[in-house]
Amino acid sequence: MNKSMKITVAALSGLLMLGSMNVASEAAPDISGSTAAAVSKVEQLEKEETARINKLLEDNPDDSYMVYVSNELTKGKRLETFAMGNTHPEYNTYEDYWKKASTLKEPVLKQPKNLPENYRFVSGKIVGPYSSEYHNEMEAEAKKLKKQVHSKKVNWTKSNMILLHYKNGTHYIKFQSARLDPKDKKQKGYTYITAEELKKKYPKLGKKFITNTLSWIENGKSFSISTNPGNPLKEEDLIKMAKTVVKK
């Protein structure tokens, strides 16, 4: 598979990343004596800290926090760092989406100036930071502070993915941006594939991923515009939107 096709398929399958992101917890190993007492103390500290954060989120639900809980004593098979709050916000209006998107320090999707007539904003989503991106930082701070449970509010300014969805009756347009692997940042120009071509090339691809898709790379990020099969918008229409959909 050539590099441009990899970018296109990645754009099509990006929605899959918006699904379940939680890691299933596993049973902790048997422990006893002083270790059990220490673990119980850590669990209590974690419970108190998450309760404190939940209380803060009641007043400011759009805030985001990272929480670190040391596994040195529990030896558990769970993530040491996890997120609380709104790190993957969803929006029902473009205005609400733009309030957050406009604060990001990176190229972001905006409503194109030449959006086709009668298309309306349906939904938007910003996938913010993953807890793994903060793990080393949180672990280092916890060790410096000699704390087994450590948390802090984070004001994130970069996204992992953005998705905007517009509809006009049964037809839709989806705009997507995603962070790129450095090795895939050399694609030049636009790559376009129709739903029919995609289905023929990848017959096992899920129906919801069979779309007409224009993809490109700009300022180190991948972008795509997808429409449903049968949508009258052509490649040239998508290219026109591509030229005004990114705020640098």
**In this structure, is residue 199 part of a structural domain?**
yes
| pLDDT for 76 | 66
Contact call for residues 149 and 42 (beta carbons, < 8 A): yes
For range 176-185, the mean pLDDT: 80
Confidence of residue 22 (pLDDT cuts 50, 70, 90): very low
**In this structure, is residue 172 part of a structural domain?**
yes
| pLDDT for 231 | 98
Work out the burial of residue 113: count CB atoms within 10 Å of its CB; fewer than 13 is exposed, 13-18 middle, 19 or more buried: exposed
Say how far apart CA 164 and CA 236 lie, in whole Å. Answer: 20
Say how far apart CA 82 and CA 140 lie, in whole Å. Answer: 15
Confidence check: pLDDT of 127 > 90: yes
pLDDT in tens, 69-120: 988 755 666 788 999 999 999 999 999 999 999 999 999 999 999 999 999 9
**In this structure, is residue 153 part of a structural domain?**
yes
**In this structure, is residue 116 part of a structural domain?**
yes
Q: Element (H or E) spanning 147, and its range?
A: none
**In this structure, is residue 141 part of a structural domain?**
yes
Q: Which tops the pLDDT comparison, 172 or 248?
A: 172
Q: Element (H or E) spanning 42, and its range?
A: helix 33-59
Six token digits for residue 68: 């670190």
Six token digits for residue 210: 């069979």
Confidence check: pLDDT of 16 > 70: no
pLDDT in tens, 211-230: 999 999 988 899 999 999 99
Number of domains observed in the structure of the chain: 1
* Range of lowest pLDDT (72-81, 133-142, 147-156, 193-202): 72-81
In sign, the C-alpha dihedral spanning 109, 111, 113, 114 is: positive
Mean predicted lDDT score pLDDT of the chain: 86
**In this structure, is residue 102 part of a structural domain?**
yes
Domain ranges, residue 9 = 3-16+31-247
- Nearest 5°: the CA angle 233, 234, 236 is 120
* Range of lowest pLDDT (21-35, 39-53, 75-89, 202-216): 21-35
**In this structure, is residue 25 part of a structural domain?**
no
**In this structure, is residue 24 part of a structural domain?**
no
| pLDDT for 11 | 59
